Amino acid sequence: GVSKCTRPAGAGLSPDSPVNLDQGDPTMFEEYWRKNKESCDVVIGGSELMSYFSNPHIMCWYLLPELEDSIRRLHSLVGNVSTEGRHIIVGNGSTQLLQATLYALSADSPQPVSVVCAAPYYSCYPELADLLKSGLYKWEGDAYDFDKEGPYIELVTSPNNPDGSIRGPVVNRGDGKVVYDLAYYWPQYTAITHQLDHDLMLFTFSKSTGHAGSRIGWAIVKDEKVARKMLKFMEVMSIGVSKEAQFRAAKILGAICDGYEGFRPIDTENFFEYSKRLMIERWERLREVVNQSEIFSLPKFSQEYCLFSSEFTETHPSFAWLKCKEELKDAQSVLRGQKILARSGTKFGVDPTFARVSMVSREDVFNAFLERLSAPKGAVSNGNQA
Contact flag: residue 300 with a second copy (CB under 8 A): no
Using alpha carbons, select from 311, 4, 40, 52 the residue that is nearest to residue 162. 4
Residue 34 burial class via C-beta count within 10 angstroms: exposed 0-12, middle 13-18, buried 19 and up? exposed
Which part of the chain contacts a second copy (CB under 8 A), choosing from 43-51, 191-199, 319-327, 331-339? 43-51
Contact flag: residue 2 with a second copy (CB under 8 A): yes
Contact flag: residue 356 with a second copy (CB under 8 A): no
Whole-angstrom distance, CA of residue 303 vs CA of residue 312: 6
Decide whether 100 or 350 has the Cβ nearer to a second copy: 100
Contact flag: residue 347 with a second copy (CB under 8 A): no
Coil, helix or strand for 92? Answer: strand
Q: Can you tell me which of 15, 16, 133, 294 binds a second copy, judged by CB under 8 A? A: 133
Size of the site for a second copy (CB under 8 A): 84
Contact flag: residue 105 with a second copy (CB under 8 A): no
Which part of the chain contacts a second copy (CB under 8 A), choosing from 92-100, 173-181, 305-313, 339-347? 92-100
Contact flag: residue 7 with a second copy (CB under 8 A): yes
Residue 385: CB atoms within 10 A of its CB come to: 7
* Preceding omega of 65 cis (within 30 degrees of 0): no
Give Cβ neighbours of residue 308 (< 8 Å, ≥ 6 apart): 78, 79, 80, 187, 192, 272
Q: Can you tell me which of 19, 21, 22, 36 binds a second copy, judged by CB under 8 A? A: 36
Q: Can you tell me which of 15, 85, 110, 135 binds a second copy, judged by CB under 8 A? A: 135
CB of 26 to a second copy, least distance (A): 8
Q: Can you tell me which of 119, 124, 196, 375 binds a second copy, judged by CB under 8 A? A: 124
Contact flag: residue 157 with a second copy (CB under 8 A): no
Spatial contact of 19 and 341, defined as CB atoms under 8 Å apart: yes
Which residues share a beta bridge with 138?
A: 114
Which residues share a beta bridge with 90?
A: 218
Amino acid at 38: E
DSSP state of 81: B
Contact flag: residue 110 with a second copy (CB under 8 A): no
Pattern 184-213, binding to a second copy, x per CB under 8 A?
----------------------x---xxxx
Give Cβ neighbours of residue 124 (< 8 Å, ≥ 6 apart): 5, 95
Contact flag: residue 16 with a second copy (CB under 8 A): no
CA contacts within 13 A on the Cβ side of 219: 30
Pattern 44-83, binding to a second copy, x per CB under 8 A?
xxxx-xxxxxx-xx-x-xx---------------------
Whole-angstrom distance, CA of residue 188 vs CA of residue 29: 11
Contact flag: residue 162 with a second copy (CB under 8 A): no
Long-range pairs of 364-368 with CB within 8 A, sequence gap ≥ 24: 364/10, 364/13, 365/9, 365/10, 365/13, 365/19, 365/20, 365/21, 365/27, 366/28, 366/282, 368/13, 368/19
Restricted to residues 223-282, the positions that interact with a second copy (CB under 8 A) are 228, 231-233, 235-245, 247-248, 252, 255
Which part of the chain contacts a second copy (CB under 8 A), choosing from 39-47, 145-153, 162-170, 336-344? 39-47
CB of 178 to a second copy, least distance (A): 21
Q: Can you tell me which of 17, 42, 148, 287 binds a second copy, judged by CB under 8 A? A: 42
CB of 210 to a second copy, least distance (A): 6
Decide whether 104 or 342 has the Cβ nearer to a second copy: 104
CB of 98 to a second copy, least distance (A): 10
